[in-house]
Amino acid sequence: MLPLAAAALVAPATAVAAQVLYVGNDNTPGQVLEYDLPLTASSTSNFAIASNNVVAVASDANNGNLAVGDNAGHLQFFTAPFSSASTPAAAFNNGAASNNGQIAFMNTGDFWAATVSNRANRFNTPFSNASTPAAFVTNAALVSTIGTAFDAAQNLYLSNAGTGDAKFCGANPPGCSSNLLVYAPPYTEAPIITPNAAGPFFGAKTAYRKIAVNATRLYAASVADSPGRVDVYNTPITSASVPAFSLTSGVNTPEALALDAAGNLYIGNLGDATVTVYTAPITSGSVPSLIYKVSTGPFAIFGIAIGGTVTPAPTPTPTPTPTPTPALPNSNFTTLTTTVDPKTGAIKFTESVSDPGKFSFTLTFPNGKFGIFAAKKKPKCKTGQIKLKGKCRPAKVGFGSGTKTVAAPGSVSFTVTPSASATKALNSRQGLRVTATLTYQSVRGGAPVSHTQTITDKLGKGKKKKKKKKGK
């Protein structure tokens, strides 16, 4: 015998489901009615799914699909969402069973169906008209297995009617009682078997039908000793478990049971076509919060279930990856150092930039102070020219110019070598006033930035070369 499995954390369902109640009708024509929860005295069904002689209804918590069984061992499988026009997606037999007990879905989407005999059958997805039992459980203790249920840990619970020998039953005929069997996954080992239920009074009989289980309680409906009762067991179930108490108020031949997510108990009464609701927490002193009349016409309740009206799960909106806001083009630059080579007069610039791009530079010095430097052309004096010794001369003389490409942000250095005119002026040994205009253009565009600075360029002191005198 394996120990009962412990409940594990289960991932949230992938569909959005508002809970609903399904109520089956064991008549021809028959149907399964759907009601929104919470159920109230003024509730009306949303629609009816056509299905005859319904004795079992189960809902798959994963997706809201329904399994329905009739009183001749036939099973039907309906895919959500439902309407009054819904038809079975698959129809097949519960093995060799001539009747159906309760149906219960596993968290895998497979389901088990009791046979009202000494076994329960497992059916695996995908379901089709050719589906046959994929597995079954049976035991020498099983007489008439009717109820099936699973807890969160996927332990399989069966209710078993018709138990009790002559000694146990006393004045009652043998088979006056019922018990429970519990199989731990994978359902291949011997089950836990509870004692025969003695009933709440001397000489009471027990005839278990459908069951319902949650983390703290197992409920078993008994139709013996009219109008019947619902036995309440504390979980976990052991080989010594007996009912902790029984519910009798609002009970009238209780054939069907179901629990909603809040732990509220729904009892389907065959005797008067009602659904009795007990609101959680349920104790020995609890009384019904509602007794709802399903129909005043022919309506035989043998199966109910809690399910969900399934709508497509909202597709999670992925958190968009922020699109980086491109930085604006930046042609700004900062002069770090400017140095003059005293030997050659070359000027070295070290600049800091934030974007890759290109420097262009133009260096000039004023004309006339260190000699007159003529332009190649002799137009009339105009802007940018001055008149020196009667002739138009350029107001500024080129010291040097050029460009420097910068591949990456950071610091960059470049050196401007003096032109021939600048070298001649520098040789005068006076300080040469050089105007440097540096312009930087970011490779990403935008407006260029220009800075102008004045630099005094002067060669260091050195021995002048003496001119050779002509020989006598």
Q: Are 428 and 342 in contact (CB under 8 A)?
A: no
Q: What is the DSSP string of 131-143?
A: ---SEEEE-TT-S
**Domains in the chain: how many in total?**
2
Answer whether residue 465 is part of any domain: no
Using CA atoms, how far residue 366 sits from 254, 377, 385, 418, in Å, is 114, 18, 11, 14
One domain, residues 159 and 277: yes
Using CA atoms, how far residue 328 sits from 20, 102, 167, 332, in Å, is 58, 70, 95, 11
Residue 312: band (very low, low, confident or very high) from pLDDT cuts 50, 70, 90 = low
- CATH number for 79: 2.120.10.30
- Domain span at 207: 16-311
What tens digit of pLDDT does each residue of 63-91 get? 999 999 999 999 999 999 999 999 999 99
Q: Which of 311, 341, 364 finishes a domain?
A: 311
Strand, helix or coil for residue 105: strand
One domain, residues 115 and 259: yes
Residue 318: band (very low, low, confident or very high) from pLDDT cuts 50, 70, 90 = confident
Percent composition of the chain: helix, strand, coil (DSSP 3-state, to 5): 0, 45, 55
**What's the pLDDT score for residue 99?**
98
**Model confidence at 421: pLDDT above 70:** yes
Nearest to 415 by CA among 364, 351, 353: 351
Q: Which of 259, 279, 311 finishes a domain?
A: 311
What tens digit of pLDDT does each residue of 443-472 get? 999 999 999 999 998 888 754 444 455 554
Cα angle 121, 122, 124 (rounded to 5 degrees) comes to: 150
One domain, residues 288 and 352: no
Q: Are 401 and 365 in contact (CB under 8 A)?
A: no
More confident position, 322 or 415: 415
One domain, residues 266 and 138: yes
Lowest pLDDT segment from 35-49, 71-85, 382-396, 454-468 = 454-468
Percent of the chain clearing pLDDT 90 (strictly above): 77
Using CA atoms, how far residue 287 sits from 27, 199, 242, in Å, is 30, 19, 22
List strand residue ranges (DSSP E) for 225-332, in order.
Answer: 229-234, 245-247, 254-259, 265-269, 274-278, 290-293, 304-311
**What's the pLDDT score for residue 195?**
97
Q: Are 267 and 230 in contact (CB under 8 A)?
A: yes
Answer whether residue 291 is part of any domain: yes
275 - beta bridge partners? 268, 292
Q: What is the DSSP string of 27-89?
A: SSS-EEEEEESSP-TT---SEEEE-SSEEEEEE-TTT--EEEEETTSEEEEEPSS--TT---S
What tens digit of pLDDT does each residue of 204-260 get? 999 999 999 999 999 999 999 999 999 999 999 999 999 999 999 999 999 999 999
Residue 431: band (very low, low, confident or very high) from pLDDT cuts 50, 70, 90 = confident
d(CA 274, CA 385): 112
More confident position, 376 or 50: 50
What tens digit of pLDDT does each residue of 152-201 get? 999 999 999 999 999 899 989 999 999 999 999 999 999 999 999 998 99
Which strand (E) or helix (H) includes residue 394?
strand 391-394
Q: How many helices (H) and strands (E) does the chain have?
A: 2, 33
Answer whether residue 64 is part of any domain: yes
Answer whether residue 226 is part of any domain: yes
- CATH number for 399: 2.60.40.4070
Cα angle 301, 306, 310 (rounded to 5 degrees) comes to: 125
Q: What is the mean pLDDT of residues 326-343?
A: 92
**What's the pLDDT score for residue 14?**
42
Burial (Cβ within 10 Å: 0-12, 13-18, ≥19) of residue 458:
middle
One domain, residues 225 and 357: no
Residue 22: band (very low, low, confident or very high) from pLDDT cuts 50, 70, 90 = very high
**What's the pLDDT score for residue 430?**
75
Answer whether residue 210 is part of any domain: yes
**What's the pLDDT score for residue 365?**
87
Residue 300: band (very low, low, confident or very high) from pLDDT cuts 50, 70, 90 = very high
**What's the pLDDT score for residue 313?**
55
One domain, residues 75 and 222: yes
**What's the pLDDT score for residue 382?**
75
**Model confidence at 16: pLDDT above 90:** no
d(CA 389, CA 405): 41
Residue 402: band (very low, low, confident or very high) from pLDDT cuts 50, 70, 90 = very high
What tens digit of pLDDT does each residue of 96-152 get? 999 999 999 999 999 999 999 999 999 999 999 999 999 999 999 999 999 999 999
One domain, residues 106 and 230: yes
**What's the pLDDT score for residue 460?**
83
CB 422: neighbour CB atoms within 10 A? 26
Q: Which of 249, 280, 311 finishes a domain?
A: 311
One domain, residues 227 and 350: no
Strand, helix or coil for residue 442: strand
**Model confidence at 429: pLDDT above 70:** no
**What's the pLDDT score for residue 17?**
61
One domain, residues 231 and 351: no
**What's the pLDDT score for residue 380?**
66
**Model confidence at 8: pLDDT above 50:** no
d(CA 178, CA 194): 9
Answer whether residue 321 is part of any domain: no
**What's the pLDDT score for residue 257?**
98
Q: What is the mean pLDDT of residues 423-431?
A: 82
| Mean pLDDT score across all residues of the chain | 90
Residue 385: band (very low, low, confident or very high) from pLDDT cuts 50, 70, 90 = confident
Percent of the chain clearing pLDDT 70 (strictly above): 90
d(CA 24, CA 34): 9
One domain, residues 290 and 431: no
What tens digit of pLDDT does each residue of 345-378 get? 999 999 999 999 999 999 998 887 655 555 555 5
Q: What is the DSSP string of 231-245?
A: EEEESS--TT---SE
**What's the pLDDT score for residue 57?**
98
Answer whether residue 462 is part of any domain: no
Prediction pTM value: 0.66
Answer whether residue 111 is part of any domain: yes
One domain, residues 194 and 263: yes
One domain, residues 337 and 292: no
